[in-house]
Structures are given as structure tokens and as C-alpha cells.
Structure 1
Amino acid sequence: MDSGTHFVMGIALGGLALADPVVANHSMTFTAVMAGTIIGSQAPDVDTVLKLRNNAIYIRHHRGITHSLPAVAIWPILITVVLSLILQDVNVFHLWLWTFLAVGLHVFVDIFNAYGTQAIRPFSKKWVALGVINTFDPIIFSLHCLGIVLWAFGTNPVWTFSIMYIVIVIYYILRFAVQRAVKKAVHHTIQDEEYVIVAPTMRFFHWRIAAKSKTHYYVGRAYGRTVNIYDKFEIKPLPKTPVIDAAMKDSNLAAFVSFSPMYRWEISELENGLTEVRLIDLRYRSDNRYPFVAVAHLNDDYEIVTSYTGWIFTEDKLQKKLQIGASN
């Protein structure tokens, strides 16, 4: 989920903590728990700072080790130690318990996004992505905001947020049901698909579709059970050439391949004599464009002159990024 949703989840969990008599009857412990649930709800996303280095590192590691099983255990301990040093006379165990729930909830809800997490690491580095909830879901965010407002106006936070989470659980179940219906509709439309990605959007009945058969990739959208296929690409394996071998060793392209389960490629000769290798993720079609790409420019000696990976929505911006890379 996005940072804003995780923030309001932290507040809601802090309100639910008042169901705990130790928290409810000790103001300092409640203050510490509220701080712990808010910080714990944000802590796993500390890897966002990797963007300051480059997109390749960010793509490889975001929602990776910071969302792993060891991290879920370590984050609450670190947060509890710091808060117990700042706020004296708090119940350390109950502070740790609610902070642990906040961290665990963060990682758990991220599993339901299309991006996913490496939540079962170190047992596996596989990305767990159920793809039923958009990274920002306006319904989930609005329900949390409504609950917080009601609490501010005097309603019982335990009852308020308990009811809210029951509603959200029902909402999740409905999302799974709709996703399943969309997958069936995709099967009826394509029929020979081997692999289908049905990803959510901010609209309840709107879904992004990327599918693979033995011979083609299909990209489209679904509204309920109505499936529209916009693009169809013949599957062509990457050629085994010196250019491709050199390009695939580049950190940007390697990061892209580690993250993207469905992409196509293009090779072109540029006017400046360089060769461009472009990988295009098929999951994120938007406004007739595929914004998530990895691009490398190579010279005649198969050396990388410049490369880039990330979300780019215009060709001009992509070329500017590549020019910046070439000048560094």
C-alpha cells in the first residue's frame, strides 16, 4: 500500500490498542503504543531511500529484505527499544506487541498488491503478489479516514475500528471474487492462455490484463467480465548475440528482468551509431504506452554507454534520462 494508507492504518491500530486494558489504563503506554503503531506501519518502507541511489537498486530491493520474516521480527524490537528510552515508565511488552502487529499488518497488506513483497524470505526470494488491491485503494483509505474522524468526534475507537476492519475484510473477499470472474472472462476471450496477470486499478470493476499463450502476449483491460484486448505481440525469445549478452549484464536491465515476469524486447540502430536494447514490461499499459522499461545503449565494442530503468511516461523524458546517464 502507499505511505498515506499505512499511516492511517497505524492510527487505526493505535485506536484498536485501547481494547488492551494495559494500554487503555496507562496514558504513557498508550502514547508510546500510538507512536509505535504509526512508526511500525511505516518502517518496512524505509527502503524507499534506495531511490536516492538509482532505480536499479530500488527495484531489486524495495519490499525485499525490509519486508522479510526476520525484518518483521527485528523492526518491532528496534522501535520498542527507542521509544522506551524516550518515553519513560511504559509497559515494554505491550508496546512491543502492538508495534509488532503494526509491522506485520504492513507486510501482510502489501501481499495483496500487484507489486507484492518477498514476505517469505529467507525461505524463498519469490515475490508474493496476490494482485487484488491497488497500491492506493480509495475505499480502504477513505474507510480509515472515516474511522479516525468518528473517533475524533467521540465514538468508541475499539468498536469503530473493529467494525471498519470487518467491512474491509468483506471488501477484500469481494475483490477476490471479482478477480476470479475476470480471470474466467480472460480465459473465454483468449482460450489458449498459459499465464494470466490480472492487476487491480483504483476503480472497483476496472482491471489491467497481461496474458501469455505459447505464441503470443496479450495486453488489455477488463470492466467486470467484459475483456478488451488492446495489443497482441508474438513471443520472440531474446537472440543470443554479443549485443544482448552485454546488455543483459547491465545493472538496470538485470534489475528489470528480476522484477518483470512478462516483457517484450526491441533492438534498434540509432543515428549516432549506438545500438539500443529496450525491454518493455507489459503489465502497466497506460494511455497507449508501456511506461515501465529498461533501456541500454551500446557502442560497437559492446560497451554500455548509458542505460536506464524505471517508469517513464514520455519518450522525451526517457531520452533525457539516458543523456544524463551518458554524461555521468
Structure 2
Amino acid sequence: MDSVSQIALGSALTIATMGRRTAVWKSAFWGLVAGTLPDLDVFIDHGNALANMINHRGNSHSLLYLLLLSPLLGWCIARLQGEGAYWRRWSLAMALVLVTHPVLDWFTVYGTQLLRPFSREAYGLGSVFVIDPLYTLPLLIGVGVALCRKSFAGLRGNQVGLLLSSLYLAWSVLAQQHVSGVARASLAAQDIAAPQLLVTPTPLNTLLWRVVAMDDTHYWEGYHSVFDKNRATAWTRHERGTALQSQYAPHAPAIAQLARFADGFMKLEQEDDALYLSDLRMGSEGRYSFRFRLGSPEEIRAGRTVIAQQPLEVPVREALIELWQRIWHKPE
């Protein structure tokens, strides 16, 4: 999730765990710090844009490593604040904040390597978008209430915020399962045999969902709103570039790397005498968040692949209007 969500969750959990044992502002501050720590790996350069993408949410998001760090961090905070008697409580608070950070990331589709060092598998449920105000606002309001009303009522307000945000995550999973069922039925009704299915929310909401169905050579993209009365999805068919992948994969390891990281949801295309690699999970057709230029065919064959991430240019106002309209009205 985005940094604001992680900060809000970290502060809310620390306030709830520490209660009246320390000042609320101290709990909020240290929750903010701990909620930010795992994402500091974005400042590590792994050599190129694709490697940076794949290795983000790696060791710094390992459940094991974060659990091992928690007692040390809790002890340091307790000593720093002269609250040595509460070091175990601080350690518990830090464990909750650090572990829930990658767990919350797991709800997005990006891919979080929860089981390092035992596995490099990137897990992503994909039931919430990386930025979702309906998840974050209850946490922010709850923390704000706790900071402003330094009493039992303030702490209760923080707990309500945590409860509402957790219920929203539960709703996102149920909505995702519902849309998955609708999509599979629609594919079957239209005789589309695509065994791999990806269902993710569109930006900022869990009402409109993007669905990608994929076979060995093609993928189909469609959209479904929870308010759509007609369950027949309109699918658009696209090439995955499997012939290009077979031809250039031996010369460009990046192709296999992204295929593994994205569970196969990727495409390779040639455009203007250059090859482009796209992650199909994030964005939409023509607007992918992670699209990489690998170089010309001659450069790739010669082993001179230079990976450069392409900037994503989205007309924000028009995109938001289009999104809002599609949530409530299905095109005829």
C-alpha cells in the first residue's frame, strides 16, 4: 500500500497496543516510524529499473526478519523514552506494526516476498488498489481522534478506525471473489478458454474491477462493476508476444525475470524498432504502470540490453471522470 496508509496503520496499531502506558503522540510517532521502515528499500539500487521493481518488497518485507527486528526496536524505543518497564509492550507494538506492513502489501497485486529467505515467491492477493481512500480514511480519523481526545473515548475512536479499515479489507476479498465468479461464467458463455485469471480493483476503489484472462498466446481484458446488472463482460483480445519471447528470452534475462515475478502476466511487443516489456497486472491496456524498453532487436541479440522504465502519462481528470462513469453505468 501507499506510504500514508502504512503510516496510518502503524500509528493506529501502536496507539491501540500501548493504550495509556505512554503519551498518545509518542505511540503515534513511533508507529509512523515503524510503519515506514520496510519501504526504505526503495532507496537501494539493484542495477536497473526492472531489478529495482522485482526486489522492492524483498528482504525488508520478510515476516521472519521483521519479527526478529521487533524486540530490538521495542527495547531501543523503551530505553530512549525512559520507559524500560514497558519494553515488552513496545516490542509487541513494533511486531504488530512491522508484520502488518507486508501483510497489508499482500492485499495488493504488486507482489510481496513474505517468506524470505526461504522463498523468493512474490505473493499478491490483489483485492485492493495500492491507494484506496476508503481504507485509509478510517485509520487517519481514528488516529486524529486519539490525538485530539486524550481519553478513553479517543482510544475507542482509534479502535473503531482499525475495525472499519479491517472490515473494508474483508469486503474487498468478498467483492473480488464475486467478480471472479462472474468473469469465469462470462468467459465460459463466450467460449473463451483462458485458464489464468487475474481480478484486481481499478484505482481508488473496490467497486469497479479489471479482469485479465490469459492463455498461452493471448490475453483478454474486461471490466465489471459490482453494480452491473448484466453479467456478460465485454472482452478485448490482445497478443502476448509469445513468439518474440521465445526469440529474445535467451538474450534478455529480464523477460524470464518479469515472467516469474508477475506469474506470467506480461507481454513483449515490438514498437518503433524497439522491444517493450509490460507487466499486465498493474494499469490497463495502453497505460501500464510498469513498461520497460529493452532496446532494439540488434542490441538485445548482442547482449547490450539497457532496461529503461517508460513514464506513465495519464490525464488524471479525464481518467477519474471515466472511472466514475463506468462504476455506475455499463456501456451498451
TM-score tier after normalising by the smaller chain length = 0.7 to 0.9
Return 5+ residue gaps in structure 1 as ranges.
Answer: 271-275, 315-328
Is 1:237 equivalent to 2:236 in the alignment?
no
How far 1:196 sits from its partner (Å)?
A: 0.7
Counterpart contact for 1:295–1:309, Cα < 8 Å: yes
Identify the residue that residue 320 of structure 1 maps to in structure 2. Answer: none
Counterpart contact for 2:72–2:91, Cα < 8 Å: no
RMSD (Å), alpha carbons = 3.0
Superposed CA offset, 1:172-211 (max 9, x none): 2221221111111111222233111111231221112111
SS in 2 for 1:307: coil
Letter in 2 for 1:162: Q
> How many Å separate the matches in 1 of 2:300 and 2:92?
58
Distance 1:266 1:12, change over 3 A: same
> How many Å separate the matches in 2 of 1:294 and 1:239?
15
Letter in 1 for 2:224: A
Identify the residue that residue 291 of structure 2 maps to in structure 1. Answer: 293
Counterpart contact for 1:294–1:310, Cα < 8 Å: yes
> How many Å separate the matches in 2 of 1:10 and 1:241?
45
| Equivalent residues, number | 301
Counterpart contact for 1:198–1:207, Cα < 8 Å: yes
| Aligned equivalent of 2:59, options 61, 65, 72 | 65
Superposed CA offset, 1:238-283 (max 9, x none): 458775421x23xx5454334223122224673xxxxx32222222
Identify the residue that residue 8 of structure 1 maps to in structure 2. Answer: 8
> How many Å separate the matches in 1 of 2:212 and 2:77?
45
Letter in 2 for 1:198: V
Superposed CA offset, 1:271-298 (max 9, x none): xxxxx32222222344743342222224
Letter in 2 for 1:312: P
> How many Å separate the matches in 2 of 1:265 and 1:203?
29
Letter in 1 for 2:213: A
Superposed CA offset, 1:77-105 (max 9, x none): 44235434533343322221111111011
After TM superposition, the structure 1 stretch with the greater mean CA deviation from structure 2, 173-182 or 67-76, is: 67-76
Identify the residue that residue 55 of structure 1 maps to in structure 2. Answer: 49
> How many Å separate the matches in 2 of 1:301 and 1:163?
55
Counterpart contact for 1:296–1:308, Cα < 8 Å: yes
Superposed CA offset, 1:206-248 (max 9, x none): 11211113553111222125565453124553458775421x2
Is 1:161 equivalent to 2:155 in the alignment?
no
Counterpart contact for 2:111–2:261, Cα < 8 Å: no
Letter in 2 for 1:95: W
Counterpart contact for 1:47–1:58, Cα < 8 Å: no
Identify the residue that residue 307 of structure 2 maps to in structure 1. Answer: 308
SS in 1 for 2:295: strand
Counterpart contact for 1:218–1:229, Cα < 8 Å: no
Identify the residue that residue 262 of structure 1 maps to in structure 2. Answer: 265
Return 5+ residue gaps in structure 2 as ranges.
Answer: 314-332
> How many Å separate the matches in 2 of 1:150 and 1:105?
22
Sequence identity, in percent?
Answer: 20
> How many Å separate the matches in 2 of 1:172 and 1:242?
42
Counterpart contact for 1:116–1:127, Cα < 8 Å: yes
